[in-house]
Amino acid sequence: MKIEIKIDENCVDPKVLIVTDKVTDEINEIVKRLSGGQSQTIAGFQGGQVVVLEPEEIVRIYAANGKVYAEAEQGTYLLRLRLYEMEQRLANKSFVRISNGEIINLKKVKGFDLSFTGTICVSLSNGTVTYVSRRYVSRIRHLLGI
């Protein structure tokens, strides 16, 4: 494979052009990586083992007792990253912070209960019930269009 870079001072946004005789798996992988569509795996620790977690598997990420945990459908895993680092890492995914100590996956939400005064009750797909803190309520309402 040849790689060529052309410097053009008039170019505002970088542009990638792939010239090929046919679309192969290698070309598809390159396009996927360049478009940011690659899956970003996360290392979780459980019982002395390292488990690779895909962001789609994670229901919520929360802090407890000075540690950060990822709760997935198959169990709870200890993470070595801080909560704000996980928030940055998952920013372009379907994750949203609901309190100072918790981030949820919007694709794993069963429903929002707005009947509580000042907070929002969130039911997750694995049966966990959590709450949006008052500080983040307006952000969630805006995100949901309410």
CA-CA distance, 49 to 102, in Å (whole number)?
A: 24
pTM of the full structure:
0.69
**pLDDT for position 38:** 46
Nearest-angstrom CA–CA distance, 66 and 60: 17
Q: In which band, very low, low, confident or very high, does the pLDDT at 82 lie, cut at 50, 70 and 90?
A: very high
Mean of pLDDT over the chain: 85
pLDDT tens for each residue of 87-146: 888 876 789 999 999 999 999 999 888 876 777 889 999 989 999 888 888 888 888 777
Is residue 9 included in any domain, yes or no? no
**CATH number of the domain encompassing residue 104:** 2.40.50.1020
pLDDT band of residue 36 (cuts 50, 70, 90) is low
Identify whether 15 is part of a domain.
no
In a domain? residue 1: no
State the burial class of residue 77 (Cβ atoms within 10 Å of its Cβ: 0-12, 13-18, 19+): buried
Rounded CA-CA distance 8/15 in Å is 11
| Residue 6 placed within a domain | no
